[in-house]
A and B are shown apart, each in its own frame.
Chain A
């Protein structure tokens, strides 16, 4: 059917399948495919790829028309569907890599992924149905929830940012202020310091915060080291802890070493 140019593009009338797709948000392409399979009541082991691909693409079109971002993953799945569809047009030949004359259905991997995805979706429903702490069941708390800092696994107290900044200022204060400014001084990158610090922590239980600043004690070095520490904290690759107020801050690697 030739589309009427005056027709509002949001409401295409040439294809009834467009009305079948809902605008509810899908978690991803697998979610959308499962939805289409269930909606069409087709056998998951024998997916009519042509029809399903068609509806899948219609849905993507609709998303675009509604100005929703179509995530890259949806497009990857679209090309996978089309690839499967074209493979199915070719005569099936026995797989030369296996001896038996069983033929590989081009849909097999997709079916497996869908089934597995469905299984984890079921699992997530089971989790959601459990007695969830602070939703269904409650336990005593020693701190109001907003102050409830959860203890790390091995119960070393963690420190807050201000203590860290204080420590940083102490170190910075120790750095020679003086010195003649050397133009074109060395360039220290945070990335380098991250790598250095990780290397330094490797195999050590924990080191004092100050130790990380030993080396060239120029301000650039100290600042780069401090930013590297912050970055590593953010990436959760190190943990900082302090045993007493205003005590030394200790740095530990948060990456558990592989058992050799």
Chain B
């Protein structure tokens, strides 16, 4: 009866009422009478609207799905409403998270070699916060647990997927240094077997 309902309105309302980022696949399965391309266009149009009209929320792609989030410039005002301490991360948990994010799957021993310190407590608290998870056991003697990041990690750090982690300087460049630096390089050849 209400033929004036647009797909854009439908998509906007569904994303609005969903409590976690909603994937395009999921949207397509809910809205099976529409073409994937149409839905994609509706999302793009909502995203553009939020930007163009200077709205307080924006439609962002995080952890593979779409979610409305407040604009970062408004954080101070929202914190007044929530009266909660903003999420905080200690340097050691950020360090550990970075290693896991970039090196996953990774064992505790590998993390500790890279950090140079015992990381058991940090791993436990990151597991508790659901930022990392045990993804299995490594098939080496002792069968150590291997860790990886979670969907919550991507949601927390506003990453649309793991591939969109900021790129790191490549350690390989450093091995044949001297080309891009004016420092006198050490003879680093032969160190490859260390890794």
Contacts and interface: CB of A to CB of B under 8 A. Distances in A.
Interface of A: 27-31, 43-46, 71, 73, 77, 95, 98, 100, 102-105, 107-109, 111-113, 115-117, 119-128, 130-142, 145, 150-151, 153, 236, 254-258
Nearest to A254: B134
B71 interface: yes
Contacts of B89: 127-128, 132
A137 B69 contact: yes
Interface residues of B, number: 66
B37 interface: no
B135 A256 contact: yes
B94 A128 contact: yes
B129 to A, nearest CB: 10
A256 B118 contact: no
Contacts of B186: 45-46, 105, 107-108, 111
Contacts of A104: 187, 190-191
B137 interface: yes
Interface string B146-159: 00001110011111
A45 B95 contact: no
A125 B102 CA distance: 13
B52 to A, nearest CB: 19
Contacts of A121: 95, 98
A193 B95 CA distance: 37
Nearest to B84: A145
28 contacts: A27-B117, A28-B115, A71-B117, A73-B117, A73-B118, A95-B190, A104-B191, A112-B191, A113-B114, A120-B102, A122-B169, A123-B102, A124-B91, A124-B94, A124-B95, A127-B101, A128-B89, A135-B75, A135-B87, A136-B72, A137-B75, A138-B70, A142-B19, A150-B152, A236-B127, A236-B134, A256-B135, A258-B139
Contacts of B137: 255, 258
Contact of A43 (B102, B116, B184): B184
A113 B195 CA distance: 10
A139 B69 CA distance: 5
A90 to B, nearest CB: 16
B171 interface: yes
Given A123-B102, A139-B68, A257-B136, A132 B188 contact: no
A122 B116 contact: no
Contacts of B141: none
Contact of B189 (A29, A102, A139): A102
B117 A132 contact: no
Contacts of B53: none
A108 B98 contact: no
Interface in B147-191: 150-152, 155-159, 166, 168-169, 171, 174-175, 177, 183-191
Nearest to A237: B134
Interface in B2-53: 16, 19-20
Given A43-B183, A112-B188, A133-B156, 11 more contacts: A45-B177, A77-B116, A108-B191, A122-B168, A133-B158, A135-B87, A137-B69, A138-B78, A145-B84, A151-B20, A257-B136
B97 interface: yes
Contacts of B116: 28-31, 73, 77, 113, 117
Contacts of B91: 27, 124
Nearest to B113: A113
B67 A116 contact: no
B108 to A, nearest CB: 13
Please give me the 5 A-B residue pairs with the lowest Cβ-Cβ distance, nearest first: A28-B117, A124-B94, A123-B98, A135-B86, A30-B116
Nearest to B67: A139
A121 B183 CA distance: 22
Contacts of A256: 134-136
Nearest to B157: A130
Interface in B56-108: 60, 67-72, 75, 78, 82, 84, 86-89, 91-92, 94-95, 97-99, 101-102
